[in-house]
Amino acid sequence: MECQTALENLDCVRPDSDDLDLPEMAAARAHLESCDACQEAFAEMQDYDRAVAGVIQHVDVPAHLRSALLDAAPEKVASVPDSVDAETRTDEVTHTAFGSRRRALAIAVSAACVLMLGVGEWLRQSQPMQFAEDELLQRLSLDLSSTKEFDTGFEFSLPATWVGNGRLRVGREFRGIDLDDAAGHDAAVTVFSYAASRNTSIDGILAAIPASRVQPPPNSVSFAQADSRYIEKDGRRPVVAVWQEHDTVYVCLILGSAADLEQIQRSLSTSAA
């Protein structure tokens, strides 16, 4: 018997079984005893099968998937016609068994892969919820009185141009807002006041949200360039600008007009020297 034929036959031997003692394995067994290369290859095959069996046993296949797999299983060894003479049949049986067992293994492995993908999908879904801009604006509140102190669950700093402008006073304390049902604050919000003239101030809120939570990302990359628009909010019509700087998305929302917001944008178009 040649090595290849011997190995094809030996491939049907289940690990840790008596399969090798079967009469149809006699020739392969005899070859194995006299061939070092096949002994080595056979040992590797058995290790591989053992490993695959180990993996499959630890995967809990859902009932509906199990029956689908069984339906998809290849035709059985028993389908070999009786008319073929005994010797050929043994050969056929061995080869069919070889083929179907490999295919069954392949199916089992792909089932395991499907399950792994399922786990991946589940992990992906358990990632923090993302918000579209409009959704985000819906969930932000103008009224910070019922909010708690920001839990510092994420890091951010003030937008670059919002620091060091004499007309702008930004609240020192940030409040936390929960946008989803998961624990922890998802947005940090503070109040600000811009001195438009000696007697007039424009008040609003500034919110900071990790950019990873906003999808799609805002078009603007600076406050000065951000489009302003009116939104409906708690029966009022505040003006809002949304932009992203580095890893943070900012929302500036004022109770005033678009012209008021644009005035602040012009004033904060450059960092104060």
Q: Torsion over CA of 141, 147, 148 and 152, rounded to 10 degrees?
A: 0
Among 20, 22, 35, 59, indicate the residue that binds Zn ion (CB under 5 A). 35
- Among 30-38, 131-139, 173-181, 193-201, which window interacts with Zn ion (CB under 5 A)? 30-38
**Minimum distance, C-beta of residue 111 to Zn ion, in the bound complex (Å):** 33
Q: Which is nearer to Zn ion, 3 or 182 (CB)?
A: 3
User: Could you tell me if 194 and 201 are in contact, meaning their C-beta atoms sit under 8 angstroms apart?
Assistant: yes
The reply to whether 3 sits near Zn ion by the rule CB under 5 A is yes
> Which one, 27 or 84, has the nearer CB to Zn ion?
27
Of residues 177-206, those binding Zn ion (CB under 5 A): none
In the complex, the smallest distance separating the C-beta of residue 10 from Zn ion, rounded to whole angstroms, is 9
Residue 46 burial (CB count, 10 A): 18
Between 31 and 185, whose beta carbon lies closer to Zn ion? 31
Work out how close the CB of 12 gets to Zn ion at its nearest, in angstroms, rounded to a whole number: 16
> Nearest approach, Cβ of 23 to Zn ion (angstroms)?
20
Of the ranges 33-41, 126-134, 238-246, 248-256, which one interacts with Zn ion (CB under 5 A)? 33-41
Q: Is 43 in the site for Zn ion (CB under 5 A)?
A: no
Q: Tell the smallest beta-carbon distance from residue 3 to Zn ion (Å).
A: 3
Please say which residue, 35 or 104, places its beta carbon nearer to Zn ion: 35
Least separation, in Å, of the C-beta of 98 and Zn ion? Answer: 17
10 binds Zn ion (CB under 5 A): no
Q: How far is the CB of 87 from Zn ion (least distance, A)?
A: 21
> In the complex with Zn ion, which residue's Cβ is closer, 39 or 263?
39
Q: Count residues near Zn ion (CB under 5 A).
A: 3
* Token output for 152: 């510092």
Q: Which of 10, 13, 28, 38 binds Zn ion (CB under 5 A)?
A: 38
Residue (38 or 188) nearer to Zn ion, CB? 38
**C-beta of residue 175 within 8 angstroms of C-beta of residue 190:** yes
Q: Judged by CB, which is closer to Zn ion: 3, or 117?
A: 3
Give the 3-state secondary structure of the chain. CCHHHHHHHHCCCCCCCCHHHCHHHHHHHHHHHHCHHHHHHHHHHHHHHHHHHHHHHCCCCCHHHHHHHHHHCCCCHHHCCCCCCHHHHHHHHHHHHHHHHHHHHHHHHHHHHHHHHHHHHHHHHCCCCCECHHHHHHHCCCCCCCCEECCCCCCCCCCHHHCCCCCEEECCCCEEECCCCCCCCCEEEEEEEEECCCCCEEEEEEEEEEHHHECCCCCCCCCCCCCEEECCECCECCEEEEEEECCEEEEEEECCCHHHHHHHHHHCCCCCC
Residues that bind Zn ion (CB under 5 A): 3, 35, 38
